[in-house]
Structure 1
């Protein structure tokens, strides 16, 4: 596992259609495991992804392992405050369990050495993500959002039956 070489590249605009599909396929696994079916439309929607890709400070990154595209990330970089966010992070279906996610996260940290604080979020049912962010990457859970305490910065898709989720923070 440790022999894999993981790097990051800026996603090419011509690759964004594949990037979206791969991300939606990866996210669908946990949704289907939890809710036994996909709600109407992909999660996240194409419109939500376009908004994320085009947000101020957003950078769309491809995770590459030994020359193969194995996943991606969208980060928002604030050059003034250096409080940055990991907005989306995924490995393609079939690429889990090889240590690639952790290596990709370390590459993201190395790419943005001026970062003071990283934040991210994940739905409550994404147990693998919670383990990954807390136990592998060193994030702390800073908030639990749910129907009576919604996340003002990351509204969950309307087509999921439950909007509960965690916010994480990592002080560098």
Structure 2
């Protein structure tokens, strides 16, 4: 994996790019599940998507959405939510064609630069996303602080109608990064 930070920029999401942003986000999230489980994975939120359109749209409405740009080419996106000294990374994705080039790490560094007032960042990722877990812990400096599962459900999530009997699709790690300044 590339340890260097890619030379990227974050551009605010434009209204006319919202549809493509959603499609690109779903493609990137589906790639991770298919890479891990193959075509047998069936814990999709809606219509064969790991992340539902409604989830992405709600995140865009609640937060700040950005396109990740590399040499004027769209290579991903991010949505964050900031409230004073607390920040939440709602969504971060890099196009599967651009993986392992330092783009995600560079995007995260830019997010921290945009919001130097944030002292505590949080995010979540599914239990099976080993690539994401590695990224947040080993690259970005987050700590795993909680494991949501059927015995310890995420208090911020409503009961999902797509949840299976085992609650497997609800297993998520919660991460926290404390910025010491």
> Normalised by the size of structure 2, how large is the TM-score?
0.86
Pairs within 5 Å for 1:1-172: 2=4, 4-37=6-39, 38=42, 39=44, 40-41=46-47, 42-55=49-62, 58-79=63-84, 82-154=85-157, 158-159=161-162, 161=164, 162=168, 163-172=170-179
Report deviation, 1:154: 4.5
Residues 109-144 of structure 1 deviation map (CA, whole Å, 9 limit, x = unaligned): 111111110000000000000000000000000101
Partner SS for 1:151 = coil
1:43 shift after superposition? 2.2
How many angstroms apart in 1 are the aligned matches of 2:92 and 2:53? 16
Query: 5+ unaligned residues in a row in structure 1: which ranges?
Result: none
Quickly say closer, same or farther: Cα 1:116–1:156, change in 2 above 3 A. farther
RMSD of aligned alpha carbons: 1.9
> In proportion to residue count, which structure has more helix?
2
Segment drifting more, 154-163 vs 12-21: 154-163
How many pairs align?
168
Q: Secondary structure at the match of 1:134?
A: helix
Unaligned residue ranges in structure 2 (runs of 5+): none
Give the Cα–Cα distance (whole angstroms) in 2 for the partners of residues 30 and 156 of structure 1. Answer: 24
> How high is the TM-score relative to the length of structure 1?
0.90
